């Protein structure tokens, strides 16, 4: 499922939401433009759901039956989600076979493909302002020597 | 819903790139009960709650926007 939040990179074509109807229209445009097949839900205009789950632009959560968080990532990466699902399926299968398994807390570093061409194309869909604002933010990050959300691994290329 | 100025601040019109990734790491660790919130089905306008989707099965949720 997809939960539609505020516009991360508002621009002339898809500006910041000023009404819920506008947000709903953007969510429907998102389905059309990217042929999204998953159900799309729309958060309220104040971002109530988005805030409660961490306020980042492209998070993924896996929530187990009953509502416990089983996996979360600050960016969406299909390979990371697949790995988490495969692990979960394996653990459940072993438990069904009678193996005694104890749940524990774990973290890992994700590695998502930085598809610059696709990202730039997305900004252009939003509009020239989105392109310009991102360029300015990038300049500030470069000046500050740190890109938000980057995890140091010692093997950056 | 928050105050009008808070709603406008949330729906910023200029991307500044100040997202707080460290705060995310501390919020809602695995094992937490996921917050149940109201939402609207994009296609139909039907009001739903996230718990409607995790009551009987696992739920994978991606957050995002067109932009």
ipTM comes to 0.95
Tell me which residue has tokens 């774990």. A106
List, in sequence order, every residue forming a beta bridge with B59; answer none if it has no partner.
Answer: A63
Q: Give the pTM.
A: 0.95
What is the nearest CA distance from A110 to chain B, expressed in angstroms?
13
Q: Is the pLDDT of residue B1 over 80?
A: no
Say whether residue A47 is in contact with chain B using an 8 A CB cutoff. Answer: yes
Instruction: Say whether A5 and B33 touch across the interface (CB within 8 A).
Output: no
Laid out side by side, the sheet with B59-64 consists of A69-73, A60-63, B59-64, A2-4, A40-42, B38-41, B47-49
Which chain B residues contact residue A67 at CB under 8 A? 33-34, 36, 51, 54
Instruction: Say whether B37 and A52 touch across the interface (CB within 8 A).
Output: yes
Tell me which residue has tokens 């500030």. A140
Question: Which pLDDT band, with edges at 50, 70 and 90, does B2 fall under?
Answer: low
> A116-126 and A128-144 are packed helices; what angle lies between their axes, rounded to 10 degrees?
130
The pLDDT of residue A146: 86
Domain locations in chain A as residue ranges:
2-46+113-144
Q: What share of chain B is helix, strand, coil (3-state, %, to 5)?
A: 25, 20, 55
Q: Is the pLDDT of residue B49 over 90?
A: yes
Task: List, in order, residues 6 or more apart from A97 with CB less than 8 Å away.
Answer: none
* Three-class DSSP category at A80: helix
Q: Is the pLDDT of residue B20 over 90?
A: yes
The pLDDT of residue A157: 56
Task: List, in order, residues 6 or more apart from B24 with CB less than 8 Å away.
Answer: A54, A55, A56, A59, A74
What is the nearest CA distance from A27 to chain B, expressed in angstroms?
6
In angstroms, the CA A17 to CA A99 distance is 51
- Residues of chain A where predicted confidence (pLDDT) is lower than 50: none
Q: Number of Cβ pairs closer than 8 Å across A and B? A: 234
Instruction: Say whether A31 and B24 touch across the interface (CB within 8 A).
Output: no
Quick check: B46 and A50 in contact, CB under 8 A?
no
Chain A: residue whose CA lies nearest to B59: A63
């Amino acid at each position: 499922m997809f939960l539609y939040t505020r516009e991360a990179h508002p621009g002339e074509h898809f500006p910041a939401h000023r009404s819920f109807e506008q947000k709903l229209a953007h969510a429907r445009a998102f389905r059309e433009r990217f042929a999204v097949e998953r159900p799309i839900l729309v958060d309220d205009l104040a971002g109530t759901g988005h805030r409660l789950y961490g306020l980042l632009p492209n998070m993924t959560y896996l929530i187990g039956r009953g509502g416990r968080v089983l996996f979360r990532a600050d960016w969406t990466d299909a390979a990371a989600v697949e790995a988490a699902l495969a692990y979960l399926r394996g653990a459940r299968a072993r438990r069904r076979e009678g193996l005694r398994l104890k749940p524990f807390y774990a973290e890992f570093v994700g590695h998502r493909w930085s598809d610059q061409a696709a990202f730039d194309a997305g900004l252009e869909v939003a509009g020239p302002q989105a392109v310009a604002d991102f360029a300015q933010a990038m300049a500030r990050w470069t000046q500050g020597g740190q890109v938000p959300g980057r995890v140091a691994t010692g093997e950056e290329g | 819903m928050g105050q009008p100025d808070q709603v406008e601040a949330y729906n910023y019109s200029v991307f500044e790139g100040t997202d707080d990734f460290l705060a995310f790491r501390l919020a809602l660790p695995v094992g937490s009960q996921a917050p149940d919130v109201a939402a609207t089905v994009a296609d139909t306008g039907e009001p739903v709650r996230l718990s409607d989707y995790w009551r009987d099965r696992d739920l994978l949720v991606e957050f995002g926007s067109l932009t």
